[in-house]
Homo-oligomer: A and B are copies of this chain.
Amino acid sequence: MLNTPCTAGRRRFLIALFAALCACGGAWAQASSTDPLPSWNDGAAKQAIVDFVGRVTRAGGPDFVPPAERIATFDNDGTLWAEQPTYFQLAFALDRVKALAPQHPEWKETEPFKAVIEGDLKALAPSGEKGLLAIVAATHAGMTTDEFATLVADWLATARHPRFDRPYTDLAYQPMLELLAYLRANGFKAFIVSGGGIEFMRVFAERVYGIPPEQVVGSSGVVKFQMTADGKPVLTKEAKVEFVDDGPGKPVGINRFIGRRPILAVGNSDGDLQMLQWTVAGEGERLGLIVHHDDAEREYAYDRASSIGRLDKALDEAANWGWTVISMRRDWARIFPSSP
């Protein structure tokens, strides 16, 4: 039977099928080996992430976590985007002071406004927290929530980072964008939990990070519901701090807004210490990650001595609590989406 035309046809068919299977298998092998974190260099940090996600998503495995409980929390400044030479929200506030100065001639002689208008940030320091609150009050209050969101959107569309000469929203970290996408693809829900202003971050978090407003937790000022003279309801922002979502405030913010303990937390400063502790102290598989800014060439190098994003106590505690420290210099092949 071997040499009948039918058998020859059958052989050709089997060869073709085999070739198709090989091609298919090749493509399949390629698909399953596509690196979801291409901007992460191979190393302990990347391995810790991939191992953790593998363990908590393996159905039937001992560390399996149902999708509803796959909560991840990310600090924002210095974790999802840069924070030097100063917090970007502070850069926004300083630009607002300058824009508003013509309507406030008295600011020319009043600190902290005088220092801001004259561009003398060193002269700002003696004003301390009180000065900072005065700037926040002058730039973040006395308007509706919608008006504030428009001001932020307009600023983000025009302002440029002093060193990188790009819009601030271009300075999200490419490895973190990949990590967020990888977590989403694995059934996680990622939240921002930041000391930054909640209404500031919500303007760009969805577009830049894919994190919707309802997954943004942050510091806030008092907001009041009011009716305008023509019967239109508005929410107005008042010059009074309501909640500081930093340090011990982060687990409190997580409890209030999310109501579940995260299984993964990512931070970069001492302001994230308690969030990391709260996260990994939960039962079952947990992962704590700290971004260490040690790359002066491609970004910035700072830790224990920095007034912005100081990383001191949390770095000391990392070994005790089993957190993985990410070296920006060694672990990240690329820093920003626009980097080579």
Give A contacts to B, CB under 8 Å: 68, 71, 145, 189, 191, 198-199, 202, 206, 212-216, 220, 223-225, 232-233, 235, 248-249, 251-252, 255-260, 274, 277-278, 281
Of chain B, the residue at the smallest CB distance from A146 is B261
Which residues does chain B contribute within 8 Å of A258, judged by CB atoms? 213-214
Nearest CB of B to A211, in Å: 11
Q: What is the bound-complex CA distance between A260 and B257, given in angstroms?
A: 15
Which residues does chain B contribute within 8 Å of A191, judged by CB atoms? 214
Nearest CB of B to A222, in Å: 9
Nearest CB of B to A244, in Å: 12
9 contacts between A and B (CB under 8 A): A71-B214, A214-B259, A223-B255, A225-B248, A225-B249, A233-B274, A233-B277, A235-B251, A235-B255
Nearest CB of B to A96, in Å: 21
Among B199, B206, B251, the residue within 8 A (CB) of A68 is B206
Which residues does chain B contribute within 8 Å of A224, judged by CB atoms? 248, 252
**Contact A260 B189, beta carbon cutoff 8 Å:** no
Q: What is the bound-complex CA distance between A68 and B214, given in angstroms?
A: 10
Given contacts A225-B251, A233-B278, A235-B251, contact A256 B213 (CB under 8 A): no
Which residues does chain B contribute within 8 Å of A277, judged by CB atoms? 233
**Contact A281 B251, beta carbon cutoff 8 Å:** no
**Contact B252 A225, beta carbon cutoff 8 Å:** yes
Which residues does chain B contribute within 8 Å of A212, judged by CB atoms? 68, 260
Which residues does chain B contribute within 8 Å of A198, judged by CB atoms? 256, 259
Q: Which 10 A-B pairs have the closest CB atoms?
A: A213-B259, A225-B248, A202-B259, A214-B258, A225-B251, A233-B277, A233-B278, A233-B281, A223-B252, A213-B260
Q: What is the bound-complex CA distance between A198 and B256, given in angstroms?
A: 8
Nearest CB of B to A234, in Å: 9
Of chain B, the residue at the smallest CB distance from A216 is B259
Q: What is the bound-complex CA distance between A287 and B198, given in angstroms?
A: 27
A68-B212, A214-B214 are known; give 15 further A-B pairs, CB within 8 A: A68-B206, A189-B214, A202-B259, A213-B258, A213-B259, A214-B215, A214-B258, A214-B260, A223-B256, A224-B252, A225-B274, A225-B278, A232-B281, A233-B278, A235-B255
Q: What is the bound-complex CA distance between A224 and B247, given in angstroms?
A: 12
Q: What is the bound-complex CA distance between A199 and B255, given in angstroms?
A: 9
Nearest CB of B to A67, in Å: 10
Of chain B, the residue at the smallest CB distance from A199 is B259
Q: What is the bound-complex CA distance between A248 and B206, given in angstroms?
A: 27
Nearest CB of B to A272, in Å: 13
Among B68, B233, B257, the residue within 8 A (CB) of A257 is B257
Which residues does chain B contribute within 8 Å of A255, judged by CB atoms? 145, 223, 235
Q: What is the bound-complex CA distance between A232 and B278, given in angstroms?
A: 9
Of chain B, the residue at the smallest CB distance from A203 is B259
Which residues does chain B contribute within 8 Å of A248, judged by CB atoms? 224-225
Nearest CB of B to A213, in Å: 3
Which residues does chain B contribute within 8 Å of A206, judged by CB atoms? 68
Of chain B, the residue at the smallest CB distance from A223 is B252
Which residues does chain B contribute within 8 Å of A252, judged by CB atoms? 223-225, 235
